[in-house]
Amino acid sequence: MLRTLRWAWRLCLALALLVLALAPGALHAQSGPAPVVLVRITDLIDDVNAGYLKRGVERAQARGAQILVIELNTPGGLLSSTETMVSSLLNARVPTVAYVSPQGAHAASAGTFIGAAAHFLVMSPVSRIGAASPVGGSGEDLPSTLKSKVTEDAAALMRNIATARHRNVAALEATVTSAKAYDANEAVSIGIADFIAPDLTALLARLDGKQVLLPNDVSVVLHTAGAPVETVSHTALESFLKFLADPNLVFILLVIGGLGILIELFGPGHIVPGVVGAICLILAFVGIGNLPVNWAGIALLGVATVLAFIEAQHPGLIFPLVAAIVSFVLGAFLLFSNFGAPSPTLPSVRIHPGLIIGLAVFFAAVVVLYLTAIVRGRKIMVPTASEALAGQVGYAASDLSPRGTVQVAGELWSAIAENTEPIKSGQAVKVLAVDGLTLKVAKATDS
């Protein structure tokens, strides 16, 4: 018993010494400067980037960060995503700075709203901000009445942001009402941006000692000079969703998906085209979720697929094929065109014309060469199948009442029972005749 107590005492003493040895390092780590959290937004503003920024704000708040830096270089994006990101910045319980970077970067359209919503707006040399005026989905000017309605709503949002962040209201409103854009020097001189910084180190040095008022009138003083920087990276899922949110890739996936399903319908049992087609269509619709899709374009691509089906069933009609190609091209051009109320934050989104022409030729070639070959081959095989299968015995793979499927000669066939009495699954059947791709059968005992 005494020996056990001694060992217990020695163990406790060793643990105590270990804690004392580690404590100074732990205290030193806790007494170090709070970090600067960095997020990078360098492409189209969409729901993925909105979620990414929100995660960055939450990370900065949880880490007690000195400030959240948003490196911004964007042509614009979805209005709904822009409003979400603006709300995240206006309600952030951590100081924020939008940094239009690197040199030559542009915070256009949606980027202007997001940049203005941060506590600080900093420009890198040779950067620009502005041009948030509403235009159509392909960059065209709008009818005066529609443009007036959309512009007023966007201008009101910009005025609210500028007032909340004490920026030049008139100058920021002009980015919406007059499509004004400003270079870095102009933005600073008229009170849109706070200052110009060539790099992140210079930016943090300039922010050091500045005071920020957070929600609920909480005032904090920044100590950013020399603070460690923690970068919030995109998750694997976010990176994959951003990869899919490309109009050209979405169009390719839609075409491959539609052709894969068509090939599977014409040649059941191939499996691979059907599986690949289904996966491509699913991925295409995932990508569409982050793009301003026009469903009329989707409908026209569907019509093109139906017309291709008709041409393949009746090779040589020509008209269905021509109509399919016309519908295909129109659907491609309309796929991301906007005919409704335009967005003041969204840049032009379109499919490359060369890709449309190339895939239209590919689509027509597959219909003419592959699908029609399958149909013709099946028609040639029907007389041979009639002679080979007539009189053979198989079994019912499902109940025939009177229609169902049968297994004959190692293959599944659609079948119809000649007699009115149903044939149960598993019962032996005899092939009486072949009608196209359907077998006429009876119970084997009836023959």
Helix axes 319-334, 353-365, angle to 10 degrees: 150
- Share above pLDDT 90 across residues of the chain, in percent, rounded to a whole number: 37
For residues 407 and 373, is the Cβ–Cβ distance under 8 A? no
Whether pLDDT at 123 is above 90: yes
- Label the pairing between strands 411-417 and 106-108: unpaired
Mean pLDDT across the stretch 37-66? 93
Query: What is the arithmetic mean of pLDDT over 276-281?
Result: 91
Would residue 2 count as lying in a domain? no
Helix (H, G, I), strand (E, B) or coil at 435: strand
pLDDT given for residue 102 in this prediction: 92
Residues 368 and 419 in one domain: no
Are residues 396 and 374 both part of a single domain? no
Residues 64 and 192 in one domain: yes
N- to C-terminal Cα separation, the chain: 95
Residue range 123-133: mean pLDDT, rounded: 87
Q: Write out the residue range of the structural domain in which residue 371 sits.
A: 245-382
Type of residue at 80? S
Residue 107 inside a domain? The answer is yes
Task: Please give the Cα distance from 59 to 41 (Å, whole number).
Answer: 16
In a domain, 9, yes or no: no
Contacts of 340 (CB under 8 A, 6+ apart): none
Residue 34 DSSP one-character state = P
14-22 mean pLDDT? 46
Cβ neighbours of residue 299 under 8 Å, at least 6 residues apart? 331
pLDDT for the residue numbered 272: 85
Which pTM was predicted? 0.68
In 215-356, which ranges are E strands? 218-221, 229-231
Listed in sequence order, the residues at least 6 apart from 158 whose beta carbon sits closer than 8 Å to its beta carbon are: 112, 113, 116, 132, 172, 173, 175, 176
- Residues 282 and 354 occupy one common structural domain: yes
Provide mean pLDDT across the span 342-371.
78
Q: Tell me which range, 94-98, 102-106, 369-373, is most confidently predicted by mean pLDDT.
A: 94-98
Same domain? For 184 and 266 the reply is no
